[in-house]
Chain A
């Protein structure tokens, strides 16, 4: 059963529409991410679910109950804020216990639940500290414990990792996933970081301009993006303008300038389309087997990978190859590129802006 249901949720600020008929449902125990660039309406959506903004239209149902007239303090949601919003004048223990105190949980049970929550985030040894005396990662955990200790039906995470440095962020991603699964709490994450959304979620809802663009599992959203925005927002992608000449059951025929390419079967109609091709799906091959040839323009070393910018007659293509210690083409060298037909994705052409 769906814990959270958003139906045609809309929010207008004056003449601008921040959230536009947004519909989404979140199942019990699921981890769902709202992913999108800044200004896409994801934070406004979260604020409406939390009760800090009033929707202009549509409804929010929590366990089937309409939240329209329920004030924020009675929604019983656990929220982790971007800034953590820890109470600076309270110790870790008092911070975590605040929600229980408001619920008038008796002292014994309160202490037991605080201890359990701190244990879950591995902070039992710091219960007497003040937030100021802790590192960013530790504050993050306190915020999480404070949100979880009230046993919320739904946990809302508002860009929870964006204030951490890159290395800590990766650690906390794993930690967040472990805590979420251990607590078994239904979670909605708001983020602009595609790698965070992919690493953590069961399902990703990609938003753009206040609208839901695609809702899919991380793998599906990455591998089968439904439009050009999703394909470039989730990971790197080569977007190639092309013309779809004909589609058959066993494949499609595409033309890019003078080059003819075979594509996978597609429901798209003949006409201008966009081809999306992931850089890591492109291989180097012999001249005879090549789909296209080109000259290496730039070569960037990324540690575990090499990134090539290859100038071809299809335009500049990004090619990613794992660093496995072999000799890689130098800038200026001519290379031959090929890929498997099913790795091409045929998307509707972007309307001319």
Chain B
């Protein structure tokens, strides 16, 4: 009896230990660190105060960075939803053989390191990159279009990184729908576009919303892509945190920014979830 009760705990012990050591501990330490103080001559002092938070929240420089980060994440999410939803629907309608090939194509990018992929984007987007060279050679432009070190370039690369998550989420939702509902709508006189808009899309909505949640939170905290494509000029929150830790060496301030990012992303996720649950209560399981 006693043994039976202990067994689930024993079996999950490795995961729990990993979770505690690798996630909870550094998180708590970061939180503690964010209350400490720092000066350039004495380094980090184990005091307790809110001045780091006051610094961040009182400085328009940081507002700009947070604003840019969330805007990039929002636009990335919107594009992912717009591109990923039809793609998931086409995947669903494909013949099994083609479907497995296309799923591999969709998921393929996930097998390649984000850094490698982003460097690929840098090669494409640079002032002397593939795209600008091609346009110049075609005599469509005289001067290169600036794409590196812009928010637009970051969004473009992030969409590429994030879209598999959106497609998988929408795909899962579409698989739960009864394919006969499309036939039913058709038999009642609906055109293909109407069937998609009125029948397929609403049923894919839970998937689009959960996919948005994943894409938004991952984009808001993405590091490698904005670091490589944004550089020093287009800073987002995660690259700012990195700079505070490794260049300015002001760890407490970096920790405070990290905690603010974590809390605001969490708040947005919870609010979003509430909204979705309220809107679709009673309609979907």
Q: A: which residues have CB within 8 A of B?
A: 50-52, 72-79, 81-83, 85-89, 98-99, 102-103, 130, 132-133, 146, 150
Contacts and interface: CB of A to CB of B under 8 A. Distances in A.
Contacts of A50: 183, 187
B185 A79 contact: no
A75 B194 contact: no
B interface majority secondary structure:
helix
A-B interface, 4 closest residue pairs, ranked by CB to CB distance from nearest: A85-B180, A102-B189, A99-B188, A85-B184
Contacts of B284: 88-89, 132
Contact of A86 (B181, B191, B282): B181
B181 A102 contact: no
B255 to A, nearest CB: 45
A50 B178 CA distance: 18
B187 A83 contact: no
B198 to A, nearest CB: 8
A18 to B, nearest CB: 18
B191 A132 contact: no
A98 B285 contact: no
A150 B187 CA distance: 11
B178 A98 contact: no
Contacts, number: 73
Contacts of B181: 85-88
B112 interface: no
A82 B185 CA distance: 15
B180 A87 contact: no
Given A79-B184, A81-B183, A73 B283 contact: no
Given A102-B194, A130-B283, A132-B285, A87 B185 contact: yes
A195 B285 CA distance: 35
A102 B181 CA distance: 15
B192 to A, nearest CB: 9
Given A81-B180, A81-B183, A87 B199 contact: yes
Given A85-B183, A132-B283, 11 more contacts: A51-B187, A73-B186, A73-B189, A76-B189, A81-B183, A82-B180, A83-B180, A86-B181, A87-B181, A88-B283, A99-B188
A interface majority secondary structure:
loop
Nearest to B206: A89
Contacts of A103: 189
B203 A89 contact: yes
Contact of B187 (A73, A82, A88, A133): A73
Contacts of A72: 183, 186-187
B231 interface: no
B190 interface: yes
A52 B183 contact: yes
Nearest to B191: A73
Given A85-B178, A132-B282, A99 B189 contact: yes
A75 B205 CA distance: 30
A130 B183 contact: no
B109 to A, nearest CB: 32
A346 B27 CA distance: 86
A229 B194 CA distance: 45
A155 B181 CA distance: 17
23 contacts: A50-B187, A51-B187, A52-B183, A72-B183, A73-B190, A73-B191, A83-B180, A85-B180, A85-B181, A86-B184, A87-B181, A87-B184, A88-B203, A88-B284, A89-B205, A89-B284, A98-B188, A98-B198, A102-B189, A102-B190, A132-B282, A132-B284, A132-B285
A87 B203 CA distance: 9
Contacts of A146: 184, 188
B187 A77 contact: yes
Nearest to A72: B186
B202 interface: yes
